[in-house]
Amino acid sequence: MAKDFGIGASSKRREDKRFLTGTGRYTDDMNKPGQAYVHFLRSDMASGRINGIDIAAAEAAPGVIKVFTSRDFEAVGGVPCGWQVTDRHGEPMKEPKHPVLAEGFVRHVGDPIAAVVAETRAQARDAAELIEVDLEELPAVVNLRAAVSGGTAVHPEAPDNLCYDWDFPAESKDAVDEAIRNAHHVTVLELVNNRLVANPMEPRAAIGEYDAADDQHTLWTTSQNPHVIRLLMGAFVLGIPEHKLRVVAPDVGGGFGSKIYHYAEEAFVTLAAKVLNRPVKWTSDRGEAFMSDAHGRDHVCKVELAMDAEGHFLALRSTTLANMGAYLSTFAPCIPTWLHGTLLAGNYKTPLIFTNVRAVFTNTVPVDAYRGAGRPEATYLIERTVDKAAREMGIDPAELRRRNFITQFPYQTPVAVEYDSGDYNATLDKVLEGSDRAGFEARKAESASRGKLRGYGLAHYIEACGIAPSSLVGALGARAGLYEAATVRVNPTGSISVFTGSHSHGQGHETTFAQVVADMLGVPEDSIDIVHGDTNRVPFGMGTYGSRSLAVGGSAIVKSVDKIVAKAKKIAAHLLEAAESDITFENGQFSVQGTDKSLAWGEVCLAAYVPHKYPIETLEPGLEETSFYDPANFTYPSGAYACEVEVDPETGKVEVLSFTAADDFGNVVNPMIVEGQVHGGLAQGLGQALMEGCVYDENGQLITASFMDYAMPLAKDLPSFTVDNSACTPCTHNPLGVKGCGEAGAIGSPPALVNAVLDALSDYGIAHIDMPLTPSKVWAAIDAARPAAAAE
């Protein structure tokens, strides 16, 4: 029977009340007394030399308070990168400075050149038009392959445009080469993982405040991790110590990775507020978001999969060009390396794996993590290649997968990570059943009778979530630990405030985390408040990304609750005049084993704060505990996805008829929220596969910079999803046994859809079409294949 509260209950999201009634508090909803507005003048060229900036007319314009240029930022640092990758020669990656405002050169369309602060937003905008920039256009580096073929350099310190050239695992290279040379069959696939724009519903915004009386800075910002912003901006950019800098990320309307990073605009408003001694506010408009939010994906890959005659995988080799954009965003270098190379085993026991990744600077917006971050790229290249291999070997795609599945856990992959648990056959069984694979041929025939091509596509995925063991990521180049912190404060009457370092920007933490605490303490969920997003209230935090909140942040809360219970038992033992070891705690009652003596939760809490009868010599009053939880391993959610499509051969239009997901997220706290997360991820993954694509022209102009040209999936583009998470193998190393569900949908769905479309087109012998599978691309592929199909 479904539970009605605590772990396992589909409790309604308490945060939705304010979101649905318009009472959420987003950064742009806030206005501070005396607030001024900033408008950034951004480069309209992809690459150029700034020969001069004349701000006189703009400074004289109505309402203008000050016009800032890079000169005003000479004393501060650049926007830092949070991860250092070491290349195959043992050299650190190239890390060119990323100034707050462009210094001498602009390097992408949208690079901020100057900033106008004025009394109103309109005045700031108007005045920006009066700034005369003598910008000399330089050749732009746009195409990845061209970027590494010599010629123009984005940064002088990287003449070949390489941030790094990375081999992994370096020692496997020769063995992989040899296995591929000697294999019965090698499936080869070249593919592009298309560049995406995250497009959260709420554009970024930031307000800087400064209190001169106590030299206190406050930054209100649309961030997924306020403490990380405080660390990066305080320590590396502006030189403000933590105790003088408060960062608040209030309600945030989606991030999908794009709000992890520290952005120049945040540093700008924080510094400008001090310079001008008044609050300064910035709100991105949608067009600005397209050219200033970090983009995602953008890989060009070649994959080779070696097999024996029975289709057993012998070796996998991939080479990837990964776009970094013009500057290194906070986590950019680790996405194509440690979040991509380490996942190349997928769900399979391929014994030998080698990858080379070259990270490339181009005159485009910085590229960083986007929902899935590296793992969708790995999954896509594996699952597309496996599907192609099945076709070439004449083996059913499901059977080829089964033949190669990892079935023994824990499993040490040849790419560093060790999977703790999983059951890939179980999720495959679920998805084949849920999608009625058995009835597909009949449905295909029915489609054919209407002149439509029906296809069925499978994909498996594995991801490394619950990011991440600090000592491990430190060894891999992270410049921070990736633990999480939580304080549980039990108030005198027994109500509870939980202060978590995880940040909720759509995930429903206020509900889920309350369920966990309620379940552990046997108290009502509504007696628990979840506080997040404020560095002055929460002790510390590394934030929300990489499906880590419940696995890492939730585990920190569990640790604190465990400490609370341990202390409360001591208090109860004293009050009940019993031995501590005889005290049991269940359903909110402290009882002496084997007696009818008991105390309610609230009575013990009150005693902690009114310690009249209290073991004061050995126990401090109060009931509040803080914990830091550093995970022992990543978590490894996995799953099987099936997609069924119909292609109209006359138009190339792909219709997604059904999508079935069978995920293993470990234990599930709130099934409704998990289902919602999967739905959102699937929508984004199918968006990538079907329609989304960020395009620059050959001069580096961003030509998909609005929703007119960048197609976001709409409800009409998607089927009703079938989601199952009953094939569950709990995580073995965190207290909740949870794995994380935030990214799965976006990771596993693109290859399932592309495999389905290529299955539909199998009579045409089309081996591959790069995403997005727009009608024009599909039609062109069909058209090009027609003579061949007709001749057969």
Partner 1 sequence: MEMTGETVIRAPRGDVWSALNDPDVLKACIPGCERLEKTSPTDMEADVTQKVGPVKARFKGAVTLEDIVEGESYRLVGEGKGGAAGFAKGGAHVRLSDHDEGTLLSYEAEARVGGKLAQLGSRLIDGFARKMADEFFATFKAQVEGPPSAETAAAITDADTDASNAASTEDTAAREPAMAGAAPESKSWIRKIFS
Q: Which of 699, 718, 719, 768 binds partner 1 (CB under 8 A)?
A: 699
Least distance from partner 1 to the Cβ atom of residue 708, Å: 7
CB of 414 within 8 A of CB of 353?
yes
Q: Which of 7, 53, 128, 369 binds partner 1 (CB under 8 A)?
A: 128
Least distance from partner 1 to the Cβ atom of residue 43, Å: 8
Pick the piece of the chain touching partner 1 (CB under 8 A) from 14-22, 184-192, 674-682, 702-710. 702-710
**Does position 102 bind partner 1 by CB under 8 A?**
no
Which SS3 state, helix, strand or coil, does residue 661 take? strand
Binding pattern to partner 1, positions 20-49, x when CB under 8 A?
A: ------------------------xxx---
Least distance from partner 1 to the Cβ atom of residue 702, Å: 6
**Does position 115 bind partner 1 by CB under 8 A?**
no
Q: Per this entry, what is the length of the chain?
A: 792
Q: Which of 40, 210, 236, 290 binds partner 1 (CB under 8 A)?
A: 290
Binding pattern to partner 1, positions 657-696, x when CB under 8 A?
A: ----------------------------------------
Pick the piece of the chain touching partner 1 (CB under 8 A) from 11-19, 250-258, 459-467, 705-713. 705-713
CA distance 8 to 143: 48
Q: Which of 212, 708, 715, 790 binds partner 1 (CB under 8 A)?
A: 708
What b/e string do you get for 609-624 counting C-beta neighbours within 10 Å, with b at 16 or more?
eebeebeeeeeeeebb
Strand-pairing partners, residue 662, are 640, 724
Strand-pairing partners, residue 355, are 168, 318
Residue 780 host element (H or E): helix 775-791
CA distance 666 to 638: 9
**Does position 701 bind partner 1 by CB under 8 A?**
yes
Least distance from partner 1 to the Cβ atom of residue 703, Å: 4
Going from the C-alpha of 214 to that of each of 71, 235, 423, 536, 665, the distances in angstroms are 27, 19, 57, 15, 47
Least distance from partner 1 to the Cβ atom of residue 247, Å: 31
CA distance 689 to 668: 28
Which SS3 state, helix, strand or coil, does residue 115 take? strand
CB of 643 within 8 A of CB of 708?
no
CB of 113 within 8 A of CB of 44?
no
Scanning residues 555 to 614, which ones bind partner 1 (CB under 8 A)? none
Q: Which of 247, 138, 261 is nearest to 200 (CA)?
A: 261
**Does position 109 bind partner 1 by CB under 8 A?**
yes
Size of the site for partner 1 (CB under 8 A): 19
Pick the piece of the chain touching partner 1 (CB under 8 A) from 358-366, 551-559, 604-612, 704-712. 704-712
Contacts of residue 325, Cβ cutoff 8 Å, sequence gap at least 6:
108, 294, 295, 332, 361, 362, 364, 365, 366, 367
CA distance 417 to 472: 10
Q: Which is nearer to partner 1, 128 or 431 (CB)?
A: 128
Least distance from partner 1 to the Cβ atom of residue 701, Å: 4
Least distance from partner 1 to the Cβ atom of residue 368, Å: 21
Q: Which of 198, 216, 324 is nearest to 252 (CA)?
A: 198
Q: Which of 121, 125, 302, 349 binds partner 1 (CB under 8 A)?
A: 125
Least distance from partner 1 to the Cβ atom of residue 320, Å: 28
Q: Which of 190, 399, 709, 783 binds partner 1 (CB under 8 A)?
A: 709
Q: Which is nearer to partner 1, 291 or 458 (CB)?
A: 291
Q: Which is nearer to partner 1, 291 or 727 (CB)?
A: 291
Least distance from partner 1 to the Cβ atom of residue 51, Å: 14
Amino acid code (one letter) for 510: E
**Does position 705 bind partner 1 by CB under 8 A?**
yes
**Does position 310 bind partner 1 by CB under 8 A?**
no
Q: Which is nearer to partner 1, 538 or 705 (CB)?
A: 705
Strand-pairing partners, residue 356, are 167, 319
Rg (CA), the chain: 28
Cis peptide before 730 (omega within 30 of 0): no
Q: Is the dihedral of CA 264, 266, 269, 274 positive or negative?
A: negative
Least distance from partner 1 to the Cβ atom of residue 126, Å: 9
Cα dihedral 472, 473, 476, 479 in deg (nearest 10): -140
**Does position 127 bind partner 1 by CB under 8 A?**
no
Amino acid code (one letter) for 97: K
**Does position 495 bind partner 1 by CB under 8 A?**
no
Least distance from partner 1 to the Cβ atom of residue 664, Å: 42
Binding pattern to partner 1, positions 723-762, x when CB under 8 A?
A: ----------------------------------------
Pick the piece of the chain touching partner 1 (CB under 8 A) from 122-130, 409-417, 465-473, 549-557. 122-130
Q: Which of 16, 54, 129, 783 binds partner 1 (CB under 8 A)?
A: 129
CA distance 742 to 587: 31
**Does position 365 bind partner 1 by CB under 8 A?**
no
Scanning residues 44 to 83, which ones bind partner 1 (CB under 8 A)? 44-46
CA distance 305 to 719: 33
CA distance 289 to 338: 27
CA distance 730 to 735: 10
Going from the C-alpha of 758 to that of each of 70, 388, 431, 753, 768, the distances in angstroms are 51, 9, 19, 9, 7
Least distance from partner 1 to the Cβ atom of residue 781, Å: 20
Q: Which of 157, 285, 697, 763 binds partner 1 (CB under 8 A)?
A: 697
Least distance from partner 1 to the Cβ atom of residue 709, Å: 7
CA distance 457 to 91: 42
Q: Which is nearer to partner 1, 283 or 350 (CB)?
A: 283
Applying CB under 8 A, which residues contact partner 1? Answer: 44-46, 109, 125, 128-129, 287, 290-291, 697, 699, 701-703, 705-706, 708-709
